[in-house]
Amino acid sequence: MGNRPIVLRWRYIHGMSSPVKSGPDRAVVLDGTTPSSTATVNAAAASFAALTGKLGYLSPTDLGQVRLAYRFADQAHLGQLRNSGEPYITHPIAVASQCAEWKLDAQALMAALLHDAMEDCGVSKTDLVERFGPSVAELVDGLTKLDKLQFNTREESQAESFRKMLLAMARDVRVILIKLADRSHNMRTLSDAPREKWQRIASETLDVYAPIAYRLGLNRTYRELQDLSFRYLRPWRYGVLSKAVTKARSRRRDLIQKVQSDVEAAYLRQGLKVRIAGREKTLYSIYRKMDEKNLSFAQVTDIYGFRVIVPSLLDCYTALGVLHQLYKPVPGKFKDHIAIGKINGYQSLHTTLVGPAGINVEFQLRTDAMHLIAESGVASHWLYKEAAATDVTPSDRMGSQWLQSLLDIQDETRDASEFWDHVKVDLFPDAVYVFTPKSQIMAMPRGATVVDFAYAIHSSVGDHMQAAKVNNEQVPLRTEIKNGDVIEIITAPQASPNPAWLGFVRTARARSKIRQHLKTLALTESEHLGEKMLVQALRAEGIESLPAQSDTHTVVWDKLLRFSGNRSHAELMTDIGLGKRIASIVAKRLAALLADNGEKPDALLLTRERFVMDDTVSQNSVAIDGSENASVQFAKCCRPIPGDPIVGYLGRGEGLTIHASDCPVARKLQNKDSERFMDVQWSDEPVRPFETGIVVTVQNGKGVLAKVASALAAAEADITQIDMNDASPAGVMDLRFVVSVRDLGQLENVFKNLRRTAPVVKAQRFKNAQ
């Protein structure tokens, strides 16, 4: 949106149903409904005249629609001034002018002119639909921040607004093109805004809008936003670097001219028709290179370069050969982005040559169509309609995979902050190129792992991933992939995502798919646990099993769901498993409903269950075997293992937590919340090992840790965590381990092995291990 105006008085715009709203940071409004100065009117008229000069590609009908949108926006912003003192309408005109350079259609230009009308002028979406149609109204709405809603923090508001904009962009890419034009003009005029806003706006531009421009292939906009952000984030460094580049430009002018004349002469001799243009590294890219590689300005040797535009794709490679015959190429500095295009659709050949006086000069070689896409990216879809046909057409898929991924992530992530976290991961531009075993090439973000690769192929491949091979060698799943790697994913039907993967995956797609799977898995397991708990509680009421969900019991289940406030049988069971509903209360209500339906409790079962039931617990016993996964947690305060007496605590919305019976934390909870405790017992055959804490006191010396670890390995105990304190003056220190064991019997074997190890002074269980 534009530089925020300052004060706005209440007034009505002719033909609008709602008043224009005032605000502390909106617009300066002159007395009356018309500006007192004809200069402001002339400035706005001149701006719009300049815009209409760029609209020759529109039909007369479309041009008329754009004029109507201008008149409406001019009325809506009447009397508002920008911080610079210009009429506010000059900002929407400037945004529309940028969109016209991309040859966007009439609807997009109308939305650009109206983009601040809803946010700043009290114009409703209904007003826009009635006057300009639903398409224009949807575009404007996608650009409007969520100012009317209440959020706890600025970050929450920003995340929700970004989510709204990005999802609108995914459905219609014109939304983000208008937004980038809007942000570009705001950044060009940021010097007029209060200085305290510079840091926030420039940071947001550099972190969000510049990467979005890159992902959509809008490289010219990307470079401009980076440089403008740098100017306001680091003004002193920007100034120093700008002066240094200006001096270097004047010093090397003769050298650059010589390189250009030599190259032109070489192409002329070969009969190649080319266009050569000089290009200069942006200030921000120079600064970033100096910062990342710890270089001085004098050590940055590739500030200047050339762009060579050739007629056809084959000419790119011919022109490259001519250059390599003229100057020696720098080893390792050639990149073929034509054969392997970048993820945003960019295509060019890049080579760095050793020019006169040993100065490195970079060349980029591309066709006209490639140049169009390189500079305008997704906007080239509209530009290309105006361009002559050539050998390459803009890819319809340019940026589409990323845009589609936004919709996929939204389907799986309803929380705005979580959605924004996912999206930020994918905004940064570095990429690596890898191959499937069938030689299909795939672009992945730098730092991506084999798990990210698996999810990039298909979510079902990632969900059932068991192992991976890189270049025919099996590797850990956290392995980062590199350029040229051939990656094979090994799947298994029983395999499923591990929560630990969230600690190292790089892409938003992988992260959201893993989280979605784990959430679904947790709900399914909670549903099964809840059903088991309700059956146990029903037995205490004399009911052998849950009534079937058949026509006979439809009324019973409907009444029970109304009683509990749940929408379905599955939701009720999940709530019981998560501790949101108490199984014994639901069981009593269900037993009463069954009695009303003519089904009496079994007197023999009722007597037997009440006879064996422990008075200290509120529900019957649930068997724990370790297969419950997310629905059952094992308390880290006491880390119980099979053989320990245990109790279960049903936290509110947290599922069932298993504590040791003598755990101090459990005792405190029992005193405060006894009705949430239930009787649990270990299954006769647990299906996995369990973690517990031990402390080993040793006489410090060389190789002590290795000896202790060997003793643990000999007892077949897996070490999952190690912690140690500093040695005492006597040379004694404590080693704290979290180890996985099957039961108390195996833990005893662990202690026996440790006590027989020479440096060990003592070994014991540590029940407060975290």
| Positions marked catalytic | 119-120
Q: How far is CA 684 from CA 501, 626, 642, 678, 721, in A?
A: 32, 11, 9, 19, 28
Distance CA 432, CA 107 (A): 38
Q: How far is CA 438 from CA 205, 434, 488, in A?
A: 40, 11, 9
- Characterize the bridge pairing of strands 632-634 and 655-660: parallel
* Among 416, 657, 447, 413, residue whose Cα is nearest residue 517: 413
Q: How far is CA 720 from CA 425, 481, 635, 709, 741, in A?
A: 29, 26, 16, 11, 11
Give the DSSP H or E segment for 96: helix 90-101
Give the Cβ contact number of residue 197 at 10 Å: 15
Query: Quick one: CA torsion of 192, 193, 194, 195, rounded to 10 degrees?
Result: -80
Distance CA 590, CA 555 (A): 11
Give the Cβ contact number of residue 155 at 10 Å: 12
Cα radius of gyration (the chain): 34
Distance CA 202, CA 187 (A): 8
Let me know: does 766 contact 693? Beta carbons within 8 Å: yes
* Among 607, 673, 668, residue whose Cα is nearest residue 638: 668
Give the Cβ contact number of residue 158 at 10 Å: 19
* Among 355, 350, 409, residue whose Cα is nearest residue 167: 409
Distance CA 525, CA 541 (A): 25
Name the one residue in this structure whose structure tokens are 């002119």: 113
Give 702-768 as a DSSP string. Answer: TTHHHHHHHHHHHTTPEEEEEEE-PPPTTSEEEEEEEEEESSHHHHHHHHHHHHTSTTEEEEEE-TT
Distance spanning both ends of the chain, measured CA to CA: 49
Taking the mean position of all CA atoms in its chain, how far away is CA 400? 16
* Among 46, 21, 117, residue whose Cα is nearest residue 76: 117
Let me know: does 1 contact 204? Beta carbons within 8 Å: no
Three-state DSSP state, 441: strand
Could you tell me the two tokens for 421? 């976290």
Could you tell me the two tokens for 330? 């720098």
Q: How far is CA 524 from CA 329, 628, 629, 656, in A?
A: 60, 10, 10, 14
Could you tell me the two tokens for 500? 């630990």
Phi, psi of 444 (to 5 degrees): -130, 150
* Among 539, 633, 529, 543, residue whose Cα is nearest residue 572: 529
Distance CA 663, CA 712 (A): 25
Three-state DSSP state, 304: strand
On the CB side of 589, CA atoms within 13 Å amount to 16
Specify burial of residue 14 (Cβ count, 10 A radius: 0-12, 13-18, 19+): exposed
Specify burial of residue 567 (Cβ count, 10 A radius: 0-12, 13-18, 19+): exposed
